Structure 1
Amino acid sequence: MAPDPHVPPVATAQQIEWRPETGQIDYPVALATMETRATAIADGMAAEMIWLLEHPPLYTAGTSADPAELLDPRFPVHAAGRGGRYTYHGPGQRIGYLMLDLTRRGRDVRRFVHAVESWVIGALATFDIHAYAVPDRIGIWTSDGGTEAKIGAIGVRVRRWATLHGFSVNLAPDLSHFGGIVPCGIAEFPVTSAAALGKTVDPGMFDAALAAGLPAFLDGLYPPAKEA
């Protein structure tokens, strides 16, 4: 039986709120929710949360965004407060906002980013999509008809060791919408999606794959145990 995408694995159910959304969430609402929740987590006043959702079409600008890379602002542009440059979000894209306490889970931001990469790559593998990370090139990559292309983006922020933002994965968005920006500042590679690769993956299916890989993702936030 396939895992229920609305229920996280038992081992983590009491530690992390798992919140999948079926409708579109406006970006300012999501950003305010993240900010409030991360502050409460850092203060020890709220549980951690993994929030899976979709936005209406928009562009976000990270702290390193270059105005020259905003080619055609055909959609609203929002300052995100995360690292990175310009990113597109819209229908057909699954977004995971991660509000986790790295004080509890190992204070290693680089390990956190690599664990997120591995988690998303593992979820894509469920659908026979070979994805991978590339050193010094943030994001999730795959081969689109022999051409290397980006299928997912990662952008995080850590404040008082509580994480904000997370990842986005292109399931079946309108890829022409990426033409308004230089995605993540990388002009020499195209973007792709599960649909462009001939794979049908709806949000519930992808959420279920993420839920199945959640224990391994959380384990990956800690350094390996030292041998005696």
Structure 2
Amino acid sequence: MASPIEWRVEPGRVDYGEALAQMEARAAGVTARTAAELVWLLEHPPVYTAGTSADPTELLDARFPVHRTGRGGRYTYHGPGQRIGYVVLDLRDRRRDVRNYVHALEGWVIAALGELGIEAFRAPGRIGIWTLDGGAEAKIGAIGVRIRQWVTLHGFAVNLSPTLSDFTGIVPCGIAEFPVTSAAALGKNIAPEAFDQALSATFMPFLELLNP
């Protein structure tokens, strides 16, 4: 396992296809044990992405480019005001447990939001990161992962201050009965840099959950 884990923070927006190619290349390097593991924090221009379970009927209005991807899940939106975290880790020397990895990733994001005063939680039967908005459950973050040869790809997307109407072109993650929300909609003005710092502060407990 290469060490230490590289943290990369992009100052500008990265095209989704370009990011996907870079992530795939890094994952190949991690698999070959020639590259360091990676946590990559960034933002994309507006795009809809289709996971391996995407249902074409859930693409309601293709107002933005649609990109098919190898991660699990259905349709998601990425765009300005949303913090993306791509996590490329080698699980071969950690717990080889997909469910544990997803659970730990959810817990990491929940802990980071908690550092910034947002109480988030898991919802049974619904993947992702949830919170209360006006007393009703709403989704503030999406999780989508792929694990190939026990190396992880993709990761999470957290809504800091996106334009929430941009989500209406799809059925986000196939869940129509619950809305999406954001930190801004909850009255929290969270800069990407502040969220990045919260992720860094809560990273070690996440890694510890991956230990064998």
Which interval holds the TM-score relative to the shorter structure? over 0.9
Aligned AA (2:184):
A
Deviations 1:80-114 (A, max 9, x none): 11000000000000000000000022111111100
**In percent, how many aligned pairs have the same letter?**
68
Look up the match of 1:60: 49
Aligned AA (1:194):
A
Mapping 1:40-119, distance limit 5 Å: 40-119=29-108
**Higher deviation after alignment, 70-79 or 101-110:** 101-110
- After superposition, the CA RMSD in angstroms is 1.1
Secondary structure of the 2:206 match is helix
Select which of 156, 169, 174 maps to 2:145: 156
Look up the match of 1:186: 175
Select which of 111, 114, 118 maps to 1:125: 114
Select which of 208, 212, 223 maps to 2:197: 208
CA distance in 2 between counterparts of 1:42 and 1:136 reads 32
Aligned AA (1:108):
D
Deviations 1:145-167 (A, max 9, x none): 01110000000000011100000
Q: CA shift at 1:120, angstroms? A: 0.3
Q: CA shift at 1:222, angstroms? A: 2.3
Secondary structure of the 2:162 match is coil
Look up the match of 1:175: 164
CA distance in 2 between counterparts of 1:135 and 1:38 reads 30
Look up the match of 1:24: 13
Look up the match of 2:210: 221
Look up the match of 2:25: 36
Provide TM-score, normalisation by structure 2. 0.98
CA distance in 1 between counterparts of 2:72 and 2:143 reads 9
1:195 is the counterpart of 2:184 = yes
Secondary structure of the 2:92 match is helix
Look up the match of 1:165: 154
CA distance in 1 between counterparts of 2:55 and 2:190 reads 33
Q: CA shift at 1:21, angstroms? A: 1.0
CA distance in 2 between counterparts of 1:121 and 1:191 reads 16
Deviations 1:62-92 (A, max 9, x none): 0000000000000000011100000000000
Secondary structure of the 2:202 match is helix
Q: CA shift at 1:58, angstroms? A: 0.5
Secondary structure of the 2:182 match is coil
Q: After TM superposition, where is structure 1 displaced by more than 3 Å over at least 4 residues in a row?
A: none
CA distance in 1 between counterparts of 2:105 and 2:74 reads 18
Q: CA shift at 1:25, angstroms? A: 0.2
